[in-house]
Structure 1
Amino acid sequence: MTEVIATNETILVVGGGISGMTAAIEAAETGKQVVLVEKRPYVGGRVTQLYKYFPKLCFPTCGLEINQRRAKMNPNLNIITMAEVTDIKGEAGDYTATVKISPRYINEKCTGCGDCGRAVEAEFDDEYNYGLGKRKGAYLPHTMAHPQRYVIDPAIIGTDDAQKAADACKVGAVDLEMQEETIELKAGAVIWATGWQPYDANKIQPYGYDRFANVITNVEFERLADPNGPTGGKIVRPSDGKEVKNVAFIQCAGSRDKNHLLHCSRICCMASLKQATYPADDVDISIYYIDIRAIDRFEDFYETVKAKDNVKFIKSKVASIVKGENDSPVLHGVDTEGYNRYANEHDLVVLAVGMEPSVDKASFPVEIVMNEEGFIEPDPNNGGIFAAGCSSDALDVNRAVQHATGAALRAVQVVNRVAGTEG
């Protein structure tokens, strides 16, 4: 059984991405007891799936390592992975949260040696790589995963593969008898940091994401470019594995559209500009855009990318994509600067899909005030529940971290009032 000591002076953080980790660490470093609940087998969220940040083109691994070290060193922080908050009752200063914990089938004895993964034969689509590759039925989610413990897919429990994993483990870390459990936690304040999810490109029918292998999303392209990704960093076509020579980026794919996402996600333009630097300089890049959102410190980066000889900007809302020769997508539309119709063929098309909240109002465990896009509003009616990062709005990493720090301070104020009242 998972044992967690929590009181109404504890801060509960729901979601262990960059915002949740930031809020949890900042609150714990003020001396508060913090419990962080994360549904994935590891913390770090979607930031761990990025190859580089914009505009400096630096790697996320540095910041991740620092945050993980801060988390490990702080005795005030208790992290529970593979767990979801299913219910919250009470009021500010006195909440009770119900948490469902899924079995990992690997206990704390795990050394990360990988013997269980090598023994298992079954393979599954790798969700960390957005299904672009495969992983074993016993696996480490990614090289920097925290906790650095393997996971056994529940689909192999009861099979010979599961027993092979158990037999291969020399330290007795495989526990095939683990069961799902439910616990209750007390908390004085709750920080909701469940982050964002990419808009479902299958819904954008004219772009053929569900029909054409060589139409992918920006988050999938990020994994292709990563040397630790499914192709070892080679940007290739999913249809035939050939390296690309011509890539198109379609901006506002499903965004600023009454049929899809009403809002602008703020980051998509910069993400595509960043991704335009990933291929080699002999790869032709075409960016189809309505307008480019590159303000303040991002303007210089925009100008740098725009000056590259292999990058071309086409002011147009792409109307449709059809299948051309050799499975190459053909983009149809009108260039709104010259009002010329085009039918442009590309090796690979990347849809810059927007951000939407990971948890919608219908599945939220407590009444809370949200706006029409589904983001949590900073409303007094939310009591001691505070959004952090992309639960509050579409934000880049820098702004998400800043917002999470603010959420931590507000939560600390709530539990300070509880402590003051009881004192």
Structure 2
Amino acid sequence: MKTHLLTFVTVLAAVIGTAATVILMLATDFPVDVIIYREGARAFLEGRPVYSEPMYAADVALPFIYPPFGALVLTPLAMASWLSDDALGNVVIALSAAALLACLFFVLRIVTRARLQTRQLVALVAAAWAFGVSIEPMRLNATYAQINVVIMTLVVLDMVPRKRWLPQGSLIGIAAAIKITPLAMLLYFLLRRDVRAIVVAGLSGLIATAVAAVVRWDATREFFGVTLLNMGTTSEFGVDTTYQSNSSLKGMVMRFYPSGESLAAHGLSSNLIWAALSVATVVLGGWLMVALIRRGMLVDAALANAVIMLLISPVSWSHHWVWLALILPVAWWRCATVLNWPVFFTAVVAVFTATVVAVPPKWWFGDAIEVHELALWAKILVSDYVWLGIALLVAWASALRGIPVLGDRVDAGAEPPHQRRGGDAEHGEDPGRGQRATRPATS
């Protein structure tokens, strides 16, 4: 591709991405979550109850559900009294857009290595960023001024091969101390038999939590003794977990019950169904991750881990699926290169892309609807990201047919090998190159 065309694509994508970010800032006039963050951090600093009482954003009462270290990290929001809630929301939106750009650079640099020149990589990152800031999870993330992209960035920086100043695992431990769910990403290190990274993550998480406990031991005890145990259930304040935005296996199972009363009467059975589905997702998803790892596709394995995390979490609001801004560009690249455009994988990626760019089916029936009263087909549509997430994992597995394994064991190193017979998919090389004679054709 000629230099001037690459420059044009890069500039155009940067303008579109920046314009989309500015539009999101202008459209967000009530950043409810950043207000709750601010109130929760203020309560943490002032010694007031953090978890037993709701926080208020105008007349909206919501619980503060982040761990004590999360409250401690958010204290600058409380101390920045000179910033209005709207201005603070805009800061979070801009920070999220910048963090997504950084994530895309690190991820796509690894995935496309040895295939793209620097100018081509920059153009691809810019185009992916323009797309990413426009998808529904990112739009909702901006509407609420959430910190999901910041959490994702900590995880990504800990997992991708790069020059490190902290031991691998440190940032995931810190992310988990801010928000519990990143602990699920340790499955990646477990399957790579990287015990050191798991230990480092555990220690960094414990140290961060201990720091918060020194500041507020009472809040720490309440969170881990009460709040965490009740997470994922309906409560006296906050959003009902059957709400259509909850794109998790548990949310899907709960919505299939004919009424709220029926769900309450069969609470144990619904939890058992969710647990069984979660175990199956971890086992089968783990098998897929091992297959990806053994083919040198480490970024793909980490992103598959993210899908598993979102599916098994008790609550995965639509705006938690910001990982799609990374998953879809990588999936597109794999369709065009290593995976040779397998029909099933390409179709799933296309449907997922169309869904997140447009209005996902969960919103077709309105907002805050009575989900139990929906017809069965409508309940299936409401759980759109759940079905698409499962389809993406299945498609990934299907697309691996014919791609040779690069070794007989899972590499326990923190970085992918730089030289492997037959190519290294993690560095952008086709894993089948050099083994064409033994590689069956992919559909």
TM-score where L is the length of structure 2: 0.25
More strand by share: 1
Max radius of gyration: which structure? Answer: 1
